[in-house]
Structure 1
Amino acid sequence: MSTSTAIPCQRRRAPGAALSLSLLLGALLPSAPALADAERQATASLAPSQLVGLDLNLQIEKVAPAAALPNQGVIVKRYLAQGLWTSQGAGGPGHRQASGSYQLRHGGDHMLEERSVDDSGQAQSSTRYSFEHPRGGTWVQSLNHGQQQLSGHFTVAPSQPGPAQQLAPASNAGLHVALIIKQALAPTLPPGVFPSAGLVLQSYAADGTLSFQGFGPGNINSKGSYSYKRLSANTAVEEATQTSDFFSLPYTMVYTFKTPNSGTWYQNFYNGLIQFSGTFDTFPR
């Protein structure tokens, strides 16, 4: 008895159908170079095309030399239409209100270069803004033909913020502020004599006094007095004197709010003896 084995037949795809499908997919799906170009464009332009309607919050971290210049705190520069600007600052000596005109030049997708003169016609400066992300980066300003220089980090905020954009509170009275120390720099001090990590809980009263509770190596409990000023939608400055059993010294603190109750902080302690920075959260007392 003979048996037969059924051999399955493989259907051959018509060449025309395969070619049509390939052309269709090629038309619908972007090529690898096109995808690469799209990714580059998404990350390429960090610097805005213009600054009108924006506040740039210039956190002062380095000054050389320090004579007659603000050496701490923050300068908020507001850019107006028709090439005009105004500025104000707080935190330490040397801050003043000013206004003037400026010219802006793009130095690539991540950089803006500004040349400005104040209304007196004498104070000329050039400032380079290097954007690390769309909301900020680093800045360097040269004055008096490069003989004086200020630098630090900056953030961008709307000059006329809506309710959802107004992040910094008008006052910190009645708040606890939990400061996480992420970095501490003190070139003239030996290691171990100042805190370089940990948490400080600062509690603010309406009468201008505050208390400090320290957690972690080198963080101590103390008390003090303070003043607080909101300068822009996301930036505020605190000037305080901290008093413990060992010292009574001033500091300037710059708060940069990323949400209504959290952000980053930078502190210039005792005219630059120690520079602290980190993150913070606030909550009611």
Structure 2
Amino acid sequence: MQSYNLLLNKILIIIVILIGGLFTHIAIADPSHAKANASKSHLARELIGGKLVLQIETVSGTDISDVPNKGVVVQHYIDKNKLTYSGVGDERFLTGAANYSVKDVSHNKVKEVSVDHATGQKSQTTYHFSDPTQGEWKRRFDNSDTIISGHFSFTHKTSLLLEPLVPKVQGGKTLVLTVLHSTSKVLPTGTYPAAGAVILQFYLADGTYTAKGYGPGTVDHFGSYKTTMVAPKVQVEQTLQTIPELNYIAPYTLIYHYETAFSGTWYQSFADGLIVFSGTFSSFDSE
């Protein structure tokens, strides 16, 4: 009987080993399982040395008077623990540095927790990648109900060394802006450029421009401009616009995302968010 029990125990041990090996083989051989885990860790690693440009599109909260509501936040990831930040397009932007940590949420989403070096302010930001170079972001702050969100673009550290698609000089260029979307929480529909409208903007080397509109709700205008390249494919334009027909002067912040050296997409906050536009553009030399 004792020999029989020993034999039975050996058989059971062999069965357990075989079953365990089978499940291990299945887990390793499952390509979707391996790919998901690899891509999750890949997102966090790829941030190091790279640059995120966070386009501000919506801001909500009880007290947001000191919070930028247009332009972009530029974050440069120095190493696995530290990032620096700055902003372009709103006078309320600050410049500084923060410690950060990144946690994977899914195969295309990461959550970042940062603590500002100067103020100690803690924030949590979620980045949802639609592809390796762009996506949507949302930021919340501890002890505050302020939420900022929008779209972002990411430039890998190796791409930062490449020749920029953004032109070195805007003067001498003509840009053709096609409106695909426009919205206003204040103005009635039909009183501002709508989808299908086209605006031709002619830039001079002296920092001035003129523009002519075609289509629903467009008006001719002119003004002064300043452009800033914040990434090899991203440019921010700040303009003080005069509309003679309406006897109206207002600033706007426009963000160009270059997909080629002469075309891409644009997003504009006019008159501090009075009207928001987006669409596509093409450019060519006008001089």
Map residues 1-285 of structure 1 onto 2, 5 A cutoff: 47=43, 49-65=45-61, 66-159=64-157, 161=159, 164-197=162-195, 198-245=197-244, 246-285=247-286
Partners of 1:61 and 1:54 lie apart in 2 by 22
**Identity within the alignment, %:** 33
Measure how far apart 1:145 and its partner are.
3.3
Consecutive unaligned residues of structure 2, counting only runs of 5 or more, are 1-28
* 1:279/1:44 CA distance change after superposition, 3 Å: farther
User: Matched residues in 2 for 1:218 and 1:46: separation?
Assistant: 46
| RMSD (Å) for aligned C-alpha atoms | 2.6
Q: Distance in 1 between matches of 2:160 and 2:146?
A: 37
Alignment CA distance shift 1:43-1:278 (3 Å) = farther
Change (3 A) 1:281 1:43: farther
- Give the Cα separation in 1 of the matches to 2:200 and 2:41: 39
Q: CA deviation at 1:38?
A: 10
Does structure 2 retain, via aligned residues, the 8 Å contact 1:64–1:150?
Answer: yes
- In structure 1, distance between residues paired with 2:199 and 2:42: 35
Give how far 1:257 is off. 1.2
Partner of 1:192: helix, strand, or coil? Answer: coil
Check the 8 A contact 2:39/2:108 in 1, yes or no. Answer: no
SS at match of 1:85: strand
Task: State the secondary structure of the residue aligned to 1:231.
Answer: strand
**Distance (Å, rounded) in 2 between the aligned partners of 1:119 and 1:130:** 26
Give the direction of change, closer, same or farther, for the CA distance of 1:82–1:130 in structure 2 (3 Å limit).
Answer: closer
Q: Which has the larger radius of gyration?
A: 1
Q: 1:42 to 1:259 in 2, by over 3 A?
A: farther
What is the deviation of 1:144?
3.3
Aligned 8 A contact 2:114 2:124 in 1? yes
TM-score by length of 2: 0.80
User: Structure 1: which 4+ aligned runs deviate by more than 2 Å?
Assistant: 33-50, 158-165
Alignment partner of 1:50: what SS? helix
Tell me the SS of whatever aligns to 1:81.
coil
Match of 1:20 in 2: none
Once the 2 structures are TM-superposed, how far is the Cα of residue 94 of structure 1 from its aligned partner?
0.8
Q: CA deviation at 1:130?
A: 0.7
The answer to whether the 8 Å contact 1:184/1:275 transfers is yes
The answer (yes or no) to whether the contact 1:102–1:116 under 8 Å persists in 2 is: yes
109-118 vs 34-43, which deviates more? Answer: 34-43
CA distance in 2, matches of 1:102, 1:163: 24
CA contact (8 A) 1:125 1:143 kept: yes
Deviation at 1:143, TM superposition (A): 1.5
Task: Kindly state the Cα deviation for residue 188 of structure 1 after the two structures are TM-superposed.
Answer: 1.6
* CA offset digits 1:221-252 (Å, max 9, x no partner): 21111111111111111111111224211111
SS in 2 for 1:190: coil
Are the aligned partners of 1:46 and 1:110 in contact in 2 as well (CA < 8 Å)? Answer: no
Label 1:222 to 1:101 Cα distance change in 2 as closer, same or farther (>3 A): same
TM-aligned CA distance change 1:180 to 1:41, over 3 Å: farther
2:228 partner letter: K
Pair 1:160–1:168, CA change in 2 (3 A): farther
Give the whole-Å Cα distance in 1 for the aligned partners of 2:208 and 2:98.
38
Question: Per-residue deviation at 1:63?
Answer: 1.0
AA at the equivalent of 1:148: T
Q: Distance in 2 between matches of 1:181 and 1:45?
A: 38
Q: Which amino acid aligns with 1:54?
A: G
- C-alpha contact 2:239 2:252 (8 A) present in aligned 1: yes
